Amino acid sequence: MKHLFLIATLVIVVAACNLSSKLKSSNNSNSSSSSESTTSGGEQVERANPTAAQTAAIANGQEVKWDQQGITWTMPANWNKQDVRTETLSYGGGGAFLSGNISTMDPSFPTDVSIKAMYESAKTSQKMGKYDEVKWLEIDGLRGIQFRESKPEMADDIRRLEWQAYRKYAGQSQLVTLILSTNGASFAKHQDELYGILYSMKILH
């Protein structure tokens, strides 16, 4: 009788362990799906999810609005406006910069084909060493491409973090290009604030 009791107990324990394992697997799967999706070609699309350091780099910062384009960022308090127009914007501080550009496309322009071609071109450039990071990145619900230039040969040369995406806005088809940059020697120092600014973006589309 004791043996039967022990066997029954072991069966219950094993079943409980299996259930726990399945629940953990399900939770991990849900967590992964909340931060990634896929393109029609099957590539992974990340969603902007700043690290603690990137969030801290823009903490207590200022809200900057590009009113003509319905785009907003959080920038460090020491960043200042350099030039803001309907289709171009530039801000900077401490030797780091954000440049924004809007290109209006013909309504018949094949944006899906174009963005995929841009991604493939960037991946080819990555293999050649121009970029050290290329990925699909969704910011505020808008899917685009993020690519980062490799460390430049000369410390004073510019190193860029760039994001591009197509959107429909104000009845237009637009290519949105954002470039965050500093010189090669200072990139590591400014990297968290550059990513923090980019990932803080709110964009109408």
Q: What is the pLDDT of residues 123-182, one digit of tens each?
A: 999 999 999 999 999 999 999 999 999 999 999 999 999 999 999 999 999 999 999 999
If asked whether residues 15 and 110 sit together in one domain, one would say no
Instruction: Give the pLDDT band of residue 43 (cuts 50, 70, 90).
Output: confident
If asked whether residues 136 and 186 sit together in one domain, one would say yes
If asked whether residues 89 and 154 sit together in one domain, one would say yes
If asked whether residues 32 and 122 sit together in one domain, one would say no
Domain of residue 18, residue span: 2-36
Mean pLDDT of 84-100: 98
If asked whether residues 67 and 29 sit together in one domain, one would say no
The pLDDT score that the predictor gives to residue 148 is: 98
Report phi then psi at 37, rounded to 5. -140, -170
If asked whether residues 48 and 142 sit together in one domain, one would say yes
If asked whether residues 28 and 123 sit together in one domain, one would say no
Domains of the chain: total: 2
Average pLDDT of the chain, as a whole number? 86
| Dist CA 146 CA 2 (whole Å) | 64
| Cβ–Cβ under 8 Å, residues 32 and 44 | no
The pLDDT score that the predictor gives to residue 197 is: 98
State pLDDT tens for residues 7-33.
343 333 334 444 344 333 333 333 233
If asked whether residues 98 and 181 sit together in one domain, one would say yes
What CATH number does the domain containing 131 carry?
A: 3.40.1000.10
